[in-house]
Amino acid sequence: MKIEISDLTFTYGEHAVLRGATFSVPTGSFLGIIGPNGSGKTTMLKLMSRLLKPKGGCILLGERALEEFGHKELARTMAVVAQDTTAAYQFTVEDIVLMGRAPYIGRFQSETTEDYRIVHHALEITGCTHLRHRAVTELSGGERQRVMIARALAQEPQVLLLDEPTSHLDIGYQQEILDLVKKLSTVDGLTVVAVLHDLNLAAYYCHELVLLHQGKIKACGLPQEVITVENIEEVYGTRVLVTPHPVFGTPQISLLPGILNRHKEQKAPHLHLIAGGGSGGELMRDLNEAGYYLTTGVLNVGDSDWEAARALDIPVIAEVPFSGITEERHRENLALVTEASAVIVAEIPLGHGNLLNLQAALAAAEAGKPVYLLEEKQQNRDFTGGAGAQLLAAVKEKGIVVREKTRLYQLLKDEYPLETFGVEKKGAAH
Ligand code: ADP
């Protein structure tokens, strides 16, 4: 059964909570409602389940207006799993699920074998059969959540509304419940609308998404149309990366630090990082967060460390992809090394293409500048047939070898005390 919502508005007293929402949910679709806290998601679901009455606009279930449905008729058409499923009474699981049959049982009738068959089926597909004689008050959060879904399914609805069905559940239960819900929509044609706060789960499972922002629809459509860097940064006020799921291609969000690299003008201690091949990303994130002014080089364009430097606004001396360091880039790197208070050498693999980076570190050490060499893994990383190892030994002799990142941070903090520097935040909407 399809749902059509047009120009829906709602206010709590003077407070406008929904301000003209229009979208539709096709039969058998799984639609996720996402948005920050207080954006109106639960209110939307309450309007759709007729727990609240809209101030304006309308909701159609199939071809009919929601308000035209009789009480029992609505319960036979739509089931709702609310957010708070704490059960106060000592009912057994089977009793609770049997309550889902109430819209089908007349006032003076009792349950039929058909009702029990449906209840047992609902218990089975939600994995609750073994719990059926247990008191619902004695269940874990995940078990209770599944029981509430079983009760909703016993209603044999055509539409299922869920408010944060996976909050408080661990990743295993989240997957179990959302797999089930997805199957009910895809295979059995149930129309599902769920409020979800986990954006990655929403993008992974839902056919379509509605993104609410301050009571308005900011975006609506396929996950890749809704989960974009621009939308997420604007609505949540946080810096993110959006990349396709490595297997299925659905958009997935990764957090980026909100704090960008301190600029020179802020007079933070200047550290120059020599990295490459993914050895420097974590260092950049942590040292940037701590408050140092960072520079880095020479890195190849496209290297993951080059990506990390760009994401954090760290000045980087960059060489074209897959090419060795040229004299020109080396000179630029040496200029930054000279400016910096100290040089940090990450655990880089050594090839003929990047030996000049070690030469830069050696030049710094020979000039009396502190050079910290991080060696956590301590495995052979010389791919030059000896020249790299020899150069590394020379740098080590004059530098400071550190075995753990946390130790490095401690040494740096002692040597280069950090004051409170101004913080520049990017992408923050609030
Ligand atoms: P969400 O589910 O997106 O967190 P809600 O729909 O619960 O948002 O709430 C939207 C707005 O309505 C919030 O600003 C909230 O404070 C307000 N609100 C929710 N319930 C009530 C209520 N019963 N009375 C007054 N204001 C409410």
pLDDT tens figures, 199-227: 999 999 999 999 999 999 999 999 999 99
Query: What pLDDT does residue 257 have?
Result: 79
Q: Is the CB of 40 under 6 A from ligand 1?
A: yes
Distance from Cα 17 to the centre of ligand 1, integer Å? 7
Length of the chain: 430
Q: Would you state the structure tokens that stand for residue 416, as one six-digit string?
A: 């280069």
pLDDT of residue 339: 94
Rounded CA separation 194/171 (Å): 17
Share of the chain above pLDDT 90, in %: 78
pLDDT band at 85, cuts 50/70/90? low
Confidence at residue 130, expressed as pLDDT on a 0 to 100 scale: 97
329 Cα: distance to centroid of ligand 1 (angstroms): 56
In this structure, the residue with its CA closest to atom 19 of ligand 1 is: 43
d(CA 289, CA 285): 6
Which protein residue has the closest C-alpha to ligand 1 atom 6? Answer: 40
**What is the bridge-based pairing of β-strands 342-345 and 371-374?**
parallel
User: Does the CB atom of residue 191 touch ligand 1 within 6 A?
Assistant: no
Residue to mutate, 17, 53, 84, 195, ligand 1, most ligand atoms under 8 Å from C-beta: 17
Q: Is the CB of 37 under 6 A from ligand 1?
A: yes
Q: Please indicate whether residue 35, judged by its CB atom, sits closer than 6 Å to ligand 1.
A: yes
Name the band, by pLDDT with cuts 50, 70 and 90, for residue 90. confident
Cα–Cα distances in angstroms (integers) from residue 402 to residues 276, 380, 393, 406, in the given order: 18, 16, 14, 9
- Cis preceding linkage at 80, omega within 30: no
Give yes or no for residue 17 CB within 6 A of ligand 1.
yes
Residues 207, 255, 309: CA angle, nearest 5 degrees: 130
In the numeric block, which tokens belong to residue 181?
Answer: 């819900």
Can you state the angle between helices 304-311 and 281-290, rounded to 10 degrees? 20
Q: How far is CA 3 from CA 23, 77, 208, 378, in A?
A: 9, 12, 13, 60
**210 C-beta closer than 6 A to ligand 1:** no
Ligand 1 atom closest to Cα of residue 212: 3
Query: Which atom of ligand 1 is nearest the CA belonging to 195?
Result: 2
With cut-offs at 50, 70 and 90, classify the pLDDT of residue 422: very low
For residue 179, the one-letter residue type is D
Q: Whose CA is nearest to atom 18 of ligand 1?
A: 12
Exposed / middle / buried, residue 45 (Cβ in 10 Å: 0-12, 13-18, 19+): buried
Task: Encode pLDDT of 108-139 as tens digits.
Answer: 888 899 999 999 999 999 999 999 999 988 88
Residue from 33, 43, 44, 163 to probe ligand 1 pocket by mutation (most atoms less than 8 Å from CB) = 43
Q: How far apart are CA 8 and CA 137, in angstroms?
A: 37
Check residues 325 and 110 and name the one with the higher pLDDT. 325
Handedness of CA 48, 177, 188, 223 (dihedral sign): positive
Ligand 1 mean position, distance from CA 366 (Å): 64
Contact between 412 and 224 under an 8 Å Cβ cutoff? The reply is no
CB 199 within 8 A of CB 206: no
* Domains, in order of start, for the chain: 3-228 (3.40.50.300), 264-421 (3.40.50.450)
Question: Which residues does residue 55 pair with via DSSP β-bridges, in sequence order?
Answer: none
Q: Is the pLDDT of residue 279 over 50?
A: yes
Interval between CA 220 and ligand 1 midpoint (Å): 21
Residue nearest to atom 16 of ligand 1 (CA): 38
Write the burial class of residue 286 (CB in 10 Å: 0-12 exposed, 13-18 middle, 19+ buried).
middle
* Cα angle for residues 307, 223, 150 (degrees, 5° grid): 125
pLDDT at residue 390 above 70?
yes
- Ligand 1: residue of 10, 15, 34 to mutate (most ligand atoms within 8 A of CB) is 15
Ligand 1 binding pocket includes 43 (Cβ within 6 Å): yes
Rounded Cα gap, residues 129 and 192, in angstroms: 23
Could you tell me if 238 and 266 are in contact, meaning their C-beta atoms sit under 8 angstroms apart?
no
For ligand 1, atom 21, which residue shows the shortest CA distance? 12
What is the overall mean pLDDT for the chain?
92
For residue 40, the ligand 1 atom closest to its alpha carbon is: 6
Task: Please give the single-letter amino acid code of residue 377.
Answer: K
Return the residue whose CA atom lies nearest to atom 1 of ligand 1: 38
